[in-house]
Amino acid sequence: MNYIVLLAYNESKNIKELLQTIRDVLTKNDIISKIVVVDDGSEDDTLEILKLLKKDFDNLVILSHYKNLGVAAAFRTGLTYVSKVAVDTDNIITMECDMTNDPCLLPEIVKQLQKGYDIVVASRNIKGGGYLGFPLKRFIISKIANLLFSLLFPTKGMTDYTIFYRGYKAKLIKNLVDKYGEDFITTEGFSSNFEIFLRCRKWTDKICSIPLVYRYYLKKSKSKMRILKNLIEYIFLILDYLREKK
């Protein structure tokens, strides 16, 4: 089974098209899956649209927060749920809901996981990948952050440390939840994605990257990232992990 975990907050303009595209790609490639959407207290019509779509998607699971709790809480809710229903050999793929993550890569991610990789990264930083329509300031920050992380935490096969679009063998996520409980994520914002990887890398070196063209121009919703807050979270997370290594 392949679990597609989507994090949604105010994605009413994107969610229907995204789910239909994911379904078409998975059906065309005979990939058995469940789509798990975590609605993080959306203030628009995202949750209502999801409930209507559920009539046409028998493999759709909706998890919702009563208010917006942030990216880390959405990850925690979605991955904790999947860790309880998945078996070790299942696959878990995390995606954003803003159309920047190309669903057409799903078959290749599944293929690489089936070949024996434990983590598959959709990367903007290898040949065939890239950024389209990405704001210059965020592009520069993304490049600098990935360079810094690759120097501090060099990992064979890992080429994009900040992208949300990743595939994991379920056993890794189940290990995280079993070992740390709800504290498998301790950060609050976008850095939680990086924290998940830092914890997983302790258990595996079977990691590969596939190219992703990050199509920012398709994004119809407003960005939820707060750059300064995100940078501060990354700094504290890095310091914590560097202390652990001493």
CA–CA separation, 151 and 166 (whole Å): 21
Per residue in 157-191, pLDDT (tens digit) is 999 999 999 999 999 999 999 999 888 998 888 88
Structure tokens, 7:
């994090």
As a whole number of angstroms, the distance between CA 5 and CA 138 comes to: 25
C-alpha 163/C-alpha 122 separation (Å) is 7
Cα–Cα distance, 172 to 95 (Å, whole number): 17
Closest CA to 57 of 23, 83, 94: 23
Phi and psi based region of residue 218 (left: phi greater than 0; alpha: psi -120 to 50; beta: remaining): alpha
The structural domains of the chain, with segments of one domain joined by +, span 2-245
Contact call for residues 10 and 221 (beta carbons, < 8 A)? yes
Residue in the block written with tokens 């078409």: 24
Protein fold of 2-245: Spore Coat Polysaccharide Biosynthesis Protein SpsA; Chain A (3.90.550)
Q: Is the pTM of this model over 0.75?
A: yes
74-129 pLDDT per residue, tens: 999 999 999 999 999 999 999 999 889 999 999 999 999 999 999 999 999 999 99
Which residue type, as a one-letter code, is found at position 27? T
- The pLDDT, as a whole number, for residue 191 is 87
237, 148 contact by CB (below 8 A) = no
